[in-house]
Copies of this chain bind each other. A is one copy, B any other.
C-alpha cells in the first residue's frame, strides 16, 4: 500500500423534493460544499467519481462524469460514473480510495447524486427494480419493497418477534434526524404512527420505508503527499474499505437472512483497519426498510439472532448507547437519494468524528463504520473511518 488515504472535505445538499434543481445542480452544489469544507481549490481535484444509479432511466442522461466535471468548471479531470445499485455511493468511495492508494492521484472527489422527483412516480419503482434480475425476477412483477417484505416476514416467523419491535427502528431514525440540517424528515414519529401507516407490501408499512428524494453528497479524498502541501489537523483516515457481492437474487441463496456479502465486506474491511466490532463508536446501516436496520446489528454480534430489536427498545442505538447507529437519521429519515446514500452515510460519520453532531454527538467518537447495500444486499460496500489527531 502507498500509505494512507484521508477524507479532508465533506458537503451535501439537503435531501428532499427539489423541484427547482436538476441532477447537475445538486451534484455541483454538493461538490462545491465539499471543496469549501476541505479548504482547497476545485482545480486541486484530479479525478471525479460520480455515484449514481438511475440517471439513465430517470433523466435519460448518462456520461455524468464529463457532465458534472463540466458544470463544476473542472473539465479535464479524469471522471466516470460508478454504479452498483443502491450501494454505488459506498462503491464509488472504494474506487476513489483505490485511485489515491494507487499513487496515480493525490486528490480526488466523490459525488453521489440522485434525482428522483420530477419524474413519473411509477418510473421510480421500475428504475429501482433494475437492480434486480430483469429476466428471472422482475418479470414476476415484484419490486424491492416486495422482496424485503419476504425477508421481513421470514424473520418475524423464524424468531417469533413482533412487528412493533422491528418497526421501532423507524422511530429511532426520525428522532435522530430532527437535528440534521440535511435530513428529509426532521420530525419525530411515534410507534403508533408507524404501525398505523398503510401497508405497502405485507408486513412492511409506509413509515418503515426510506423515502424517495433528491440529493447529493460529496467527499474529498487525498494522500499524504497532498497533505504536505495542504496541512491541516482535523484528519480522518479511511482505515478500511471493501466491496463484496452475493448471489444477485435472494431466492437462490441458502439463507435469505445470511447477508453473506455484508459478512465478507466486514471481514475484509475490518481486518484491513485492524479493528474489532467493539471498537466501533458509530455505525451507519442501510435501513431502506426497518428490518434492514435490525439485521446488521445481529450479524455484527451486537445482539443474538432475533434479538437485535432489544438494542433499539433499550436505546442502545442512540448516542451514549452500546452502538450508536444512524445517528443522523439513516435512510429512513435523513433520506435515501440512491446514488447519494452511501456518500451521505460517510458524511454523517465524518460529522460525528469531527465532534460536530450537536445534540446527537457520540462522545469522543473515534471510529465509524458505514454499510451500503445494493439490491437485496447483493452488493455491499463497507467503509471504515478513523479520526486522526
Q: A: which residues have CB within 8 A of B?
A: 1-2, 22, 24, 47, 53-54, 56-57, 59-67, 69-70, 75-85, 88, 91, 94-95, 97-99, 101-104, 126-127, 130-135, 138, 241-249, 252, 260-261, 264, 374-375, 378-379
A362 to B332, CA, bound (A): 60
A241 to B104, CA, bound (A): 10
Determine which of B63, B77, B84 lies in contact with A80 in the assembled complex, contact meaning CB atoms within 8 Å: B84
Nearest-neighbor residue (CB-CB) of A133 within chain B: B67
Contact B374 A248 (CB under 8 A): no
Determine which of B59, B79, B98 lies in contact with A102 in the assembled complex, contact meaning CB atoms within 8 Å: B98
A228 to B113, CA, bound (A): 42
Contact A260 B66 (CB under 8 A): no
Smallest CB separation, A39 vs chain B (Å): 24
Determine which of B62, B69, B76, B135 lies in contact with A83 in the assembled complex, contact meaning CB atoms within 8 Å: B62
Known A2-B2, A95-B95; judge A78-B135 contact (CB<8 A).
no
List chain B residues, Cβ under 8 A from A97: 102
Contact B80 A83 (CB under 8 A): yes
List chain B residues, Cβ under 8 A from A102: 1-2, 97-99, 101-102
Known A63-B379, A95-B95; judge A247-B103 contact (CB<8 A).
no
